[in-house]
Amino acid sequence: MAINKVKGTYDVLPTESYLWHKLEDKIKEVLHLYNYKEIRTPIMEYSEVFHRQSELSDMVTKETYDFDDRGDRKLTLRPEGTAGVIRSYVENKLYSSQELEKVYYIGPNFRYERPQKGRYRQFYQFGVEAIGAVDPALDAEMIILAFDFIKRLGLKGVRVRINSLGDDDSRRNYTEALKNHFLPHEATLCEDCKQRLTKNPLRILDCKIDQKHEAVINAPTPQDYLNEESRSYFKSVLEHLNVAKISYEIAPKLVRGLDYYSHTVFEIEADIEGFGAQNVLGGGGRYQKLVSELGGPDLGGIGFACGMERLLLALEAENVDFAKEIELDAYVIVFNNDLKTVATKILYELRGANLTVDANYTQKAFKGQLKQALRMNAKYLIIIGEEEFKKGVVGIKNTKTEVQEEVLFAKIKKYLVEKLEKK
């Protein structure tokens, strides 16, 4: 019986991996411009890193992959990057430098969701966190960075949506107001939202089932409950965005899917025709309690993460000429098997000169080798014939112009380096 991949997972095949490489290179390139350094944390953590008392989001309560290891420890495959990064920040006392810690990460996450296009049970995120400062300029930098990154990828149909949940006080007042607003409608809300009403009323706002419920449409927004301080914090974030000429929209009902946020929250949405339901490419916001909840000092941070599959889907949907597959500079063909050691020597030498070269290991006949070389779009063929070998030369053929020249053995490297301008 053939064994299939786990539901909600996918393989990146050899013909696609170049797209991932390019995306990862781009992430590193842009993040370095903003002075972020990579952090790598484990894909599994002790469950309490994610299952904190304050985190009641569906994602963390219902969708995590939890298991006991053989030593009966409760572990969770990370459903997102932030909590693990903060666990590491605290455990390694990265706060002791008193400096802002700017980090990014790239890696797989696991959520037991209903799979569909753009939504998987194992998916990749790249995420960014700036931990240890509360400053509207930093919130703005995070949004500018997200915007800049998307622009540099070449994506055009993208919307940046921003909101503020305000500080603890504002958020508490707002939560209370939401509860009072929804209570009279309890009977008509979906089963999940009935639960959310007491535990976590903010979540009702992004319920997929109750989206069109009149009470959801008419619900008060966080903005209505911002206190003076939170209002001026948000105003300042927007001022920074305005000077950077970032185009954004204020989304009064945006609350995000995790519970650790306060103050600024934002999402990047694909606005591409026919893109599908999973159009949120990335999102994030400020968190003020996460560091202390995970045993660290009272420090705030802000970050965001993007789904990398969704970025690639958006690039495909917009037909962005984004990355090129590896191109073969040359392909070595031998007339008979005894010449294979000669081929090995040439290949090693050319790779030493940083040329991308290959030879054939499956076809014995010259014709078969040639076919394979052309199928792989090699720019040059290096043809080693018996007679030529005796004379100390090989034939080098440009596959585009079809011009073939005899080249001395000792000159092969020089010839190709010059032709390919790889000096």
Residues lying near ligand HAM in the complex (CB under 6 A) are found at: 80-82, 111, 113, 119-120, 123, 125, 127, 129, 257-258, 280-285, 303-307, 309-310
Burial class of 261 by CB neighbour count within 10 A (0 to 12, 13 to 18, 19+):
buried
Nearest-approach distance from CB 74 to ligand HAM, in angstroms: 21
Nearest-approach distance from CB 234 to ligand HAM, in angstroms: 17
Number of C-beta neighbours around residue 378 at 10 A: 22
- By C-beta, is 82 or 372 nearer to ligand HAM? 82
Phi, psi dihedral angles at 223 (to 5 degrees) = -55, -35
- Got the DSSP string for 302-360? EEEEEEHHHHHHHHHHTT---------SEEEEESSGGGHHHHHHHHHHHHHTT--EEE-
Nearest-approach distance from CB 127 to ligand HAM, in angstroms: 5
- By C-beta, is 61 or 173 nearer to ligand HAM? 61
- By C-beta, is 119 or 419 nearer to ligand HAM? 119
Nearest-approach distance from CB 395 to ligand HAM, in angstroms: 51
Burial class of 313 by CB neighbour count within 10 A (0 to 12, 13 to 18, 19+):
buried
- By C-beta, is 123 or 182 nearer to ligand HAM? 123
Q: Beta partners for 262? A: 286
Number of C-beta neighbours around residue 179 at 10 A: 16
Nearest-approach distance from CB 130 to ligand HAM, in angstroms: 9
Nearest-approach distance from CB 171 to ligand HAM, in angstroms: 16
Asked if residue 151 lies in contact with residue 157, where contact means CB atoms within 8 angstroms, the answer is no
- By C-beta, is 165 or 305 nearer to ligand HAM? 305
- By C-beta, is 81 or 369 nearer to ligand HAM? 81
Number of C-beta neighbours around residue 311 at 10 A: 25
